[in-house]
Amino acid sequence: MDNFKTFHEKTVIGLIETMTIHGVGDVDVKIDSGNGAYNVLTAHDIQIQGNKVSFRTVDEKHVVKDVIDTVVINVGAGNIEERPVVNFRITFGGKDYDNIPFSLGDRSSNEYKILVGKEFLKELDTLIDINSNYIADKNIDVS
């Protein structure tokens, strides 16, 4: 009887990584393993018409996307926000991912304008080293 589990080597990522969000550009993202909801992309001037949403994001880029869902978020102190959710194609760690959902929220007062949540982290099958920052596509410690 074999009681040993088979383990495979996992890629290690840092708390802050660089990701390409197609239509937005290369951005630093904060890995947020406590975020069980969608990834979050900073957005302002959000205007929804039918199933389309128009907004400004990182570096004031104007983006128009299809709304794929909405999510209700408790942002603390009893404040509730309903946010549209859109899909983006992204590149992370040298690999492309299609139809990755992001909720749109105002993160203008936050240092990192994008949060990556645990649903996408599960897809990556990675380990997070909170003591270091890594270059995701090279897995090199730069601390």
What domains appear along the chain, each with residue ranges and CATH number? 13-134 (2.40.70.10)
State pLDDT tens for residues 86-134. 999 999 988 999 999 999 999 988 888 999 988 888 888 788 887 766 5
State pLDDT tens for residues 10-24. 778 888 999 999 999
Query: Does the pLDDT at position 140 exceed 50?
Result: no
> How far is the C-alpha of 114 from the C-alpha of 57, rounded, in Å?
10
> How far is the C-alpha of 55 from the C-alpha of 41, rounded, in Å?
11
What share of the chain in percent tops pLDDT 70? Answer: 86
- How far is residue 133 CA from its own chain's centroid? 16
The DSSP-derived string for 35-83 is --S-EEEE-EEEEEETTEEEEE-GGG-EEEEE--EEEEEEEETTEEEEE
Mean pLDDT of the chain: 85
**Beta carbons of 25 and 108 less than 8 angstroms apart:** no
| pLDDT-based confidence at residue 136 (cuts at 50, 70, 90) | very low
**Beta carbons of 80 and 88 less than 8 angstroms apart:** no
- How far is residue 83 CA from its own chain's centroid? 15
Give pLDDT, residue 7: 60
| pLDDT-based confidence at residue 137 (cuts at 50, 70, 90) | very low
Question: What burial class does residue 50 get, using C-beta atoms within 10 Å of its C-beta: 0-12 exposed, 13-18 middle, 19+ buried?
Answer: exposed
| pLDDT-based confidence at residue 138 (cuts at 50, 70, 90) | very low
Query: Does the pLDDT at position 5 exceed 50?
Result: yes
